[in-house]
Structure 1
């Protein structure tokens, strides 16, 4: 049986593509195109699979020819060449750093390229040791904010909160079953 991708899964792939492209220093409009497509796919009121079968992917705001081709490839084959290539070039653990409020793609790129940091744990160790302040644009204040952000992420994981975009479709399925 073929895999049926959810809107959230496809949106997450495009969000990850945007993050990885930004970490690589890709031009901003390309990054924003993937982000916009991800946001609109996540917010769709319909199953993207149905739109795909109807040939109506371009009715999704932010989905032009290039992104339509990528969604088509993903739904048809289960693979997306660009995504696979980016995953082979960029450590996936870097994407976890995006959860830390002070860590955007540019800062993630800086700690990865200049200090070889690839995990949140390594980032925390470096911040506690004062190593981040050696990077341009980083200082003691930012190190403190990063440490506080890491603690916040840990607390949220312990609390077990589920994002609305994940909870809502599950709630709808439960309602249908009832």
Structure 2
């Protein structure tokens, strides 16, 4: 498992915890760890052979143990348990512009919405406006956001693209001329 995959795993954990309603400092710890892994400069597996993972800024003992479990097994029991509690399909709803973890939690807990299609149908049928803090304009923005999401190409953020590009550059430099 490379650093990008580790970072994506910790971002996923942070998103699921935020939807679940976990305290913000815990979700921020996972986001900091993800960012630290993205900019590490070498693969975590190589790094841990020479230095403790806890020497990476933003990586404490608990997250270091999770990194070790992921590197050794390719799986993470904590994430599997979290995915059993919070539907992973909710992460797709987070992709809708202007829909954050609190709204996703609202849709899930009060309207039993667990997928993008269910959210779209609920908005089309004007069911969302009965939820706290939601109205006609909110439904319209959600429908527009879903349409925009379906139109946009699959792009990659700089935080994801940069480490991949750096690995390619490193590989190219290592090739004989």
TM-score, structure 2 normalization: 0.88
**Over aligned residues, Cα RMSD in angstroms?**
1.8
Asked if the contact 2:13/2:30 (under 8 Å) is kept, the reply is yes
Distance in 2 (alpha carbons) for counterparts of 1:174 and 1:36: 25
What's the secondary structure of 1:85's corresponding residue? helix
Structure having greater relative contact order (Cα 8 Å, sep ≥ 6): 2
1:164 to 2:161 alignment: no
Structure 2: runs of 5 or more not aligned:
none
Instruction: Classify the secondary structure of the residue corresponding to 1:44.
Output: coil
Relative distance call for 1:122 and 1:53 in structure 2 (3 A) is: same
Q: Per the alignment, do residues 137 and 34 of structure 1 end up closer, same or farther by CA in structure 2, a change over 3 Å counting?
A: same
Match 2:85 to one of 83, 89, 101: 89
- Please tell me whether residue 10 in structure 1 is matched to residue 6 in structure 2: yes
- Partners of 1:163 and 1:31 in 2: CA distance: 20
Question: Taking structure 1 as reference, are residues 40 and 173 closer, same or farther at Cα in structure 2, changes over 3 Å only?
Answer: closer
Distance 1:160 1:33 in 2: 27
Q: Secondary structure at the match of 2:65?
A: helix
Cα separation, partners in 2 of 1:97 and 1:55, compared to 1, 3 Å: same
Secondary structure class of the residue paired with 1:38: helix
Count of residues paired in the alignment: 172
How many angstroms apart in 2 are the aligned matches of 1:57 and 1:125? 46
Structure 2 residue 142 is matched with structure 1 residue 146:
yes
Is 1:29 the counterpart of 2:25 in the alignment?
A: yes
